[in-house]
Amino acid sequence: MKKIDFTQTPVIDQVSVEERVARLNTRSIKKSAKVEGLKLALNLIDLTTLEGKDTAGKVKQMCYKAMHPHDELPGLPTVAAVCVYPTFVGLAKKELGDSGVKVASVATAFPSGQSTRQIKIEDTKFAVSEGADEVDMVISRGEFLVGNYNYVFDEIAEVKEACGKARLKVILETGELSTLDNVRRASEIAMRAGADFIKTSTGKIQPAATQPVTLVMLEAIRDYYYETGIMIGMKPAGGISTAKSALNYLVMVHETLGNAWMNNEWFRFGASSLANDILMQLAKEAKGVYQGGDYFSKD
């Protein structure tokens, strides 16, 4: 395998990235295309609850919502997965049964990642043993920022090994990486260390997912695919709460990576309130009148 020098990853032209995002955002998606886009977006959601105050009841309710987003509207897909802390994985797995909705678990001392390697590996193994289909890990941002790229690489590789068959999503926490150059570099490290998905944020740090950051990561995935033929998934998370912005993200994915990525094997939204906004827009298209939050389940 070719030896990679992570200090030499491509530099990013921030102004051009922002201009390209702005240009893509002018695409207009209306009527039946919008309905299809919204249904797809719903099917791409990792319905997420990652609060200190989470309870078994909250997780159960969210699992029901994942399988039955809004029964009043026929023909809706389920969401892609629910995303919870490792302690709730067993419960979520049981609740979701054979519905096809996957269980994703955060691990490796989420959200700060400030713990020992050993604990992070144990955390991952516990989540997988409870039945997690997917593991969302955080990278060590401190080590990354001081330039200790090998440390970050090795850690991801070890967690990947601990995952076994579970797919690994690597959270870069771009809100703490300062520059788009760093986002590109962290993406390269994660992909080459064995990530199945790269993910923007934990949702605990502002800014969370932004379009420029997502575009940089999508381009890193594209370049990696051209180089190796390996597909890597993408998951923007945090801060995407409106149906309109979800459609904007889908346009970016389609323009950058193409149709092969337009399904929940390769693209996800990490979100909690996005689902309801999409449902409200779908109901608006079906019934012809603007909807109100009172008529949709909260969790």
Told to judge if 123 belongs to the known catalytic residues of this protein, a careful annotator would answer no
Closer Cβ to other proteins, 63 or 271, answer by number? 271
Q: How far is the CB of 62 from other proteins (least distance, A)?
A: 23
Closer Cβ to other proteins, 15 or 289, answer by number? 289
Closer Cβ to other proteins, 61 or 242, answer by number? 242
Please tell me the distance from the alpha carbon of residue 71 to that of residue 250, in angstroms, as a whole number: 25
Told to judge if 136 belongs to the known catalytic residues of this protein, a careful annotator would answer yes
Q: How far is the CB of 291 from other proteins (least distance, A)?
A: 5
In the shown chain, the binding pattern of residues 274 to 293 toward other proteins, with x for contact by CB under 8 A and - for none, equals --------------xxxxxx
In the shown chain, the binding pattern of residues 234 to 273 toward other proteins, with x for contact by CB under 8 A and - for none, equals ----------------------------------------
Does 15 interact with other proteins (rule: CB under 8 A)?
no
The count of chain residues that interact with other proteins, using the rule CB under 8 A, is: 8
Residue among 136, 160, 169, 196 flagged as catalytic: 136
Q: How far is the CB of 162 from other proteins (least distance, A)?
A: 43
Closer Cβ to other proteins, 61 or 291, answer by number? 291
| Strand-by-strand arrangement of the 134-138 sheet | 233-235, 197-199, 167-171, 134-138, 102-107, 81-84, 45-48, 269-271
- Do 213 and 206 touch, CB atoms closer than 8 A? no
Q: How far is the CB of 153 from other proteins (least distance, A)?
A: 44
Closer Cβ to other proteins, 137 or 240, answer by number? 240
The backbone region for 47, taken as left when phi is positive above 0, alpha when psi lies in -120 to 50, beta otherwise, is: beta
Residue among 123, 160, 199, 277 flagged as catalytic: 199
Told to judge if 199 belongs to the known catalytic residues of this protein, a careful annotator would answer yes
Q: How far is the CB of 30 from other proteins (least distance, A)?
A: 12
Residue among 65, 169, 235, 277 flagged as catalytic: 235
Q: How far is the CB of 252 from other proteins (least distance, A)?
A: 22
When binding is defined by CB under 8 A, the residue of 294, 297, 298, 299 that contacts other proteins is: 294
Buried b (16+ CB within 10 A) or exposed e, 33-65: ebeebbbbbbbbbbbbbbeeeeeeeebbbbbeb
Residues 96-115 that bind other proteins (CB under 8 A): none
When binding is defined by CB under 8 A, the residue of 295, 297, 298, 299 that contacts other proteins is: 295
Closer Cβ to other proteins, 75 or 288, answer by number? 288
Residues that bind other proteins (CB under 8 A): 288-295
Query: What residues are labeled active site?
Result: 136, 199, 235
